[in-house]
Amino acid sequence: MKDLLTKGSIPILLGTGGVGKTTIAAALALAGASANLNTAVITVDPSKRLRDALGLARLGGQPTRIGARQLAAAGLDPHLQLSAMMLDVSGAWDAIVERFVADPATRRKVFDNPFYKSLTAEFAGSEAFAALQRLYDLHQTGAFELEVVDTPPASHSFEFLQTPARLIRLLDSRTARWLFTPSLSASRIAMKVASNAARFVVREIERFAGSNVLSTITDFFAAMAESMDGIIDRLQKTEALLHSPAVKFVMVTTAEPDRIRQARELLSQMGAEGLKLSAIVINRFLDEKTWMAVADSGARPLSHLAEISELRKSIARDGADANGFGRLVHHFEEYRDRMLGEIERVAEFARELPKGVRLAIAPEIEAGVRDLAALSRVAGYVMSGIGMLKGLEAAAKSVVEMGAGNSDR
């Protein structure tokens, strides 16, 4: 993972909601800053958890430097250069309009246009667009040596990568410009065939969307006519950035079977699109107690899981289930089997990864990631490699062979 955190690198994190993507993004940014890189993390997390974890009173649309006092309180070097920012989706769109539409009156027409408001608030990919545009601006300034991007939650993480192309298709549609930009369509509508075709399309749009919607689209394209080429050029440059060597895609997932399946699907999709996944972080893999049991060379790996089988044996030996003790043991057995299942899935997944795709793992933090100290622990886990995975797999097989996986329910 250290190879990803280099000067000029842009790690972009992908993943569905609920896998801890924002936490891993912040942890990677902290690791980058700890490697003496001036680092920024861009997040879209609206829950304020990252802001609280970083010890910031507020987190807005401009990079905010983490203070020396907060860093020192967490046991970190107070001189670390780490900044964070949270995206303002509508603000990103407005900034593009302000840049490319010079006339103030025309800009006001665009901002007030219902179609523009719908486009910026409801279009599938608006948050991705905002993240990419802010990233492009930040990268162009050269203010930071490392930029870590936490992408918006999506039904599928691949949506983020498709957003620039989708917007280009929407805004660069020749049909849309021809129909909705009066200066382009007036002469053509005079032609009978074109006129008939245009009336048919307009009639169908009115039937399904209403005439008011049609007029707002017309007003939008008319106001944006002179600046649309500049915006599309910007989108094309953003898409080119996604395909540049500087960008390193990192997928965040967890060890549940459906999440592992989604990771496999993403690998396949990215290959089809000519995009390379650089690394996968399996977050919340096991718990810190299990990790420590393996990391401590003086302890018997996973001994706490093997001991659970002894509890069941003691019940069978005594021939009684006093005070519901068996139900408690059943709870422990479920915990053990879940841990063993995760180890088996992750080890198998690691073996089948394509060459060049790195793997990192991080356990569940019992108290949650609520401050910089906990975030630093996550960063340490992610950067420590997966050398312990083979030890985990061997220890898990040993527990199963001892009969832990076949306990009497």
pLDDT tens digit sequence for 105-164: 999 998 998 878 877 776 656 677 777 778 888 888 889 999 998 887 665 556 667 777
Res. 192: pLDDT tops 50: no
Q: Based on the fold, state whether residues 347 and 386 are members of the same structural domain.
A: yes
pTM for the whole structure? 0.80
pLDDT at 183 over 80: no
Q: DSSP string covering 155-168, please?
A: SSTHHHHHHHHHHH
Total residue length of the chain? 409
The residue ranking higher by pLDDT, 322 or 69, is 69
- The reported pLDDT for the residue numbered 371 is 85
Residues 6+ apart with CB under 8 A from 148: 10, 11, 13, 25, 26, 28, 29, 32, 39, 40, 41, 42
Q: Mean pLDDT over all residues of the chain?
A: 79
Per-residue model confidence (pLDDT) at position 32: 96
Q: What is the pLDDT of residue 100?
A: 86
My answer on whether 237 and 369 are in the same domain is no
Q: Give me the number of domains the chain comprises.
A: 2
Instruction: Specify whether the CB–CB gap between 43 and 84 falls below 8 A.
Output: yes
Ranked by mean pLDDT, which of 86-95, 151-160, 192-201, 330-339 comes out on top? 330-339
CB 13 within 8 A of CB 252: yes
Q: Does 237 share its domain with 342?
A: no
Same domain? For 329 and 270 the reply is no
* pLDDT of 39: 97
Q: What is the pLDDT of residue 173?
A: 57
Q: Does 249 or 326 have the greater pLDDT score? A: 249
Residue 193 is predicted with a pLDDT of 44
pLDDT at 214 over 80: no
pLDDT reading at 310 higher than 90:
no
- Which band of pLDDT confidence, cut at 50, 70 and 90, is reported for residue 408? very low
Residues 256 and 303 in one domain: no
Judged against a pLDDT cut of 80, whether residue 1 lies above it is answered with yes
pLDDT of residue 404: 42
- Strand, coil or helix: what is 321? coil
Domain span at residue 359 reads 288-406
Residue 299 pLDDT greater than 60, yes or no: no
pLDDT range class, residue 211, cuts 50, 70, 90: low
Check whether 33 has a pLDDT greater than 70.
yes
DSSP code per residue over 57-74:
S---SS-EEPPHHHHHHT
Between 15 and 161, where is the model more confident?
15
For residues 32 and 115, state if they share a domain: yes
What is the token pair recorded at 51?
A: 């802001």
Which of 265, 282, 299 delimits the end of a domain?
282
Q: Which two tokens stand for residue 39?
A: 């680092």
For residues 234 and 66, the model is more confident at: 66
Same domain, 10 and 139: yes
Beta bridge partner(s), residue 39? 82, 146
Q: With b meaning 16 or more CB within 10 Å and e meaning fewer, what string describes 259-271? A: bbebbeebbebbe
Q: Any idea what the CATH number is for the domain that residue 64 is in?
A: 3.40.50.300
Quickly list H helices, 210-356.
Answer: 211-224, 228-242, 257-272, 288-295, 303-318, 325-352
In the chain, DSSP finds a helix count (H) and a strand count (E) of: 19, 8
Last residue of a domain, one of 282, 304, 328: 282
Q: Which amino acid is at 323?
A: N
Domain ends where: 282, 304, 336? 282
The pLDDT-based confidence of 182 (bands split at 50, 70, 90) is low
Cβ pair 131, 152 in contact under 8 A:
yes
For the cut 50, the answer to whether the pLDDT of residue 187 exceeds it is: no
Residues 131 and 242 in one domain: yes
Pair (272, 170) in one structural domain: yes
| 213-242 mean pLDDT | 78
User: Same domain for 75 and 192?
Assistant: yes
- Residue 368's pLDDT band (cuts 50, 70, 90): confident
- How far is it, in rounded angstroms, from Cα 43 to Cα 38? 17
> How many other C-beta atoms can be found within 10 angstroms of the C-beta atom of residue 46?
12
- The rounded percent of the chain whose pLDDT value lies above 90 is 20
Confidence check: pLDDT of 267 > 50:
yes
One domain, residues 175 and 268: yes
Question: Mean pLDDT, to the nearest integer, of 205-220?
Answer: 63
Q: Average pLDDT of 303-316?
A: 78
Three-state SS at 210:
coil
Same-domain status, 307 and 253? no
Side-chain half-sphere exposure of 378, counting CA atoms within 13 A: 29
